[in-house]
Amino acid sequence: MTGIDVDRLRAELTGNAGAYAAVDVVASTGSTNADLREAAAADDPAADRTVLIAETQTAGVGRRARRWSSPKGTGLYLSVLLRPHEVSFANLGSLAVVAGLAVHDTATAVGVDAVLKWPNDVLAGPDRAKCAGILAEAVAGEEFAVVLGIGLNVLPLGERVPSGPGGLAATSLAEQGAAVTDRTEIAVKLLTAFAEREARWRAAAGDLARAGMLDGYRVHCATIGQDVKIMLPDGSSLLGTATGVDGAGQLTLTALDGTVRTVFAGDVVHLRPVGADD
């Protein structure tokens, strides 16, 4: 099984020609997000736009500490440390949208039919199985920072991966007919797409509309237009139609009685179409 070529990644993504300060690849770690959170707060802190990729994770996590399966050598498990001082804390939630669009760009570039599921999933294939998940975490400390994690299944998983919340089965780019499955090439495509979009997002202070990405997200987000059930941390739920996403990346929900409310990604335990198995 071919490993990720860190020399090529550094040649294409760092230095004068690249957008990133540093790129590293490790054979195994608990969680790339946890590693970069630690690096961000170290005495000699890691720089803005530092990338860490692992061949496998032993404690990979998604939203709300859910386990992210990271089979060795089959996916991209990466995190990017960002210090977007131009973006307010209130607008940080839109970073997951930016990352989702970058994953969508990558899937489309290799010929895979993909859509976005608000707030942090990328689904692929006719059955809309999950091929990627996204996790953004603010870093506590004197200097503002955020770690953005992306888990993208590239090659066939080679093991049974449990279905995610709402019964979403796992899939990979290869299983959906990707024309390119070399993980180094996919990493270059993904990180290049993310760098371009993140720069626009940062310049727009985290406002997706100003960054020119809101309309595109609305087009590619399969959640919009669906009747959905949203489970909240207190055990209650919301029912309604997902009618849009705003410039900060939050969902607009029109309830059965016509009431319109904004749903914040951080308040959502699960979101699934009405009628999906609990």
Question: pLDDT tens across 241-252, in order?
Answer: 999 999 999 999
Distance CA 42, CA 146 (A): 14
Q: Which pLDDT score, from 0 to 100, does residue 86 have? A: 92
Q: Which residue stretches of the chain have pLDDT < 70? A: 1, 59-70, 158-167, 276-278
pTM score, whole prediction: 0.92
Please tell me the chain's helix, strand, coil percentages from 3-state DSSP, rounded to the nearest 5: 30, 30, 40
CA angle 119, 117, 121 (to 5 degrees): 70
Burial of residue 236 (CB within 10 Å: 0-12, 13-18, 19+) is: exposed
Cis peptide preceding 273, ω within 30 of 0: no
pLDDT tens string 200-253: 999 999 999 999 999 999 999 999 999 999 988 888 999 999 999 999 999 999
